[in-house]
């Protein structure tokens, strides 16, 4: 059975400077992201993006805006020979304004809704699969799902880890500089 890598979007795969990304022009992959995904592709692992997009519930942008951003994400990666198996997103937030997304929902990380959807659609071995992200919610998500968790220092990673890790109930298995370092760590473990 295959192994899978779950990857957070904002701050892990792409820059997360101004908060909510609402249009494709503002979406910028990190310069190393395509190399990282290509490396995972070469290991024949499934690669799923799992992203909280509460900006939809908050009324900052629409589902269609997000789809346009994801089209750019796929195109920018494909131009560099890198491919995502699938993208799962959560548009929910309980303090949002836009129905029907303004509710508490299991899909919002650290809830496991997106993990369960991936598990239903694809076959992968949980115990040899990974979660990579820049926030505590990514690590909780990965830990609860039974994945090996990797925190990256990009996005909010460095700040959260340095300032708040003492209070984290779930700690990452590994902390690395960025997504490429995470992919290289996975490669090393896969080739053992």
Q: Where on the chain is the footprint of Mg ion (CB under 5 A)?
A: 8, 10-11, 134, 155
Q: How far is the CB of 44 from Mg ion (least distance, A)?
A: 26
User: Does residue 10 carry a catalytic annotation?
Assistant: yes
Q: How far is the CB of 133 from Mg ion (least distance, A)?
A: 6
**Minimum CB distance to Mg ion smaller for 118 or for 139:** 139
Q: How far is the CB of 157 from Mg ion (least distance, A)?
A: 8
Of 26, 63, 29, which is closest to residue 180 (Cα–Cα)? 29
Q: Determine the straight-line distance between the first and last CA of the chain, rounded to whole angstroms.
A: 17
Report the Cα 137 to chain-centroid distance in Å.
11
**Minimum CB distance to Mg ion smaller for 137 or for 184:** 137
Contact 13, 74 (CB under 8 A): no
User: Does residue 177 carry a catalytic annotation?
Assistant: no
Percent helix / strand / coil, the chain, rounded to 5: 40, 15, 45
**Minimum CB distance to Mg ion smaller for 11 or for 142:** 11
Catalytic residue positions, numbered: 8, 10
């Amino acid at each position: 059975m295959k192994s899978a890598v779950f990857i957070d979007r904002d701050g892990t795969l792409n820059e997360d400077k101004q908060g909510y990304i609402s249009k494709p022009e503002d979406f910028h992959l990190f310069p190393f992201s395509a190399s990282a995904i290509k490396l995972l592709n070469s290991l024949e692992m499934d690669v799923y993006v799992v992203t909280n997009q509460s900006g939809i519930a908050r009324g900052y942008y629409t589902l269609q805006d997000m789809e346009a951003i994801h089209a750019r994400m796929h195109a920018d990666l494909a131009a560099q020979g890198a491919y995502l198996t699938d993208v799962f997103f959560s548009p929910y937030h309980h303090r949002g304004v836009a129905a029907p997304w303004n509710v508490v929902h299991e899909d919002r990380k650290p809830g496991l809704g997106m993990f369960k959807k991936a598990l239903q659609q694809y076959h992968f071995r949980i115990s040899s699969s990974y979660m990579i992200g820049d926030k505590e919610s990514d690590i909780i998500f990965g830990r609860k799902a039974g994945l090996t968790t990797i925190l990256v220092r990009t996005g909010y990673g460095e700040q959260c880890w340095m300032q708040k890790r003492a209070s984290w109930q779930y700690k990452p298995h590994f902390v690395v500089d960025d997504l490429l370092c995470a992919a290289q760590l996975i490669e090393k473990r896969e080739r053992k």
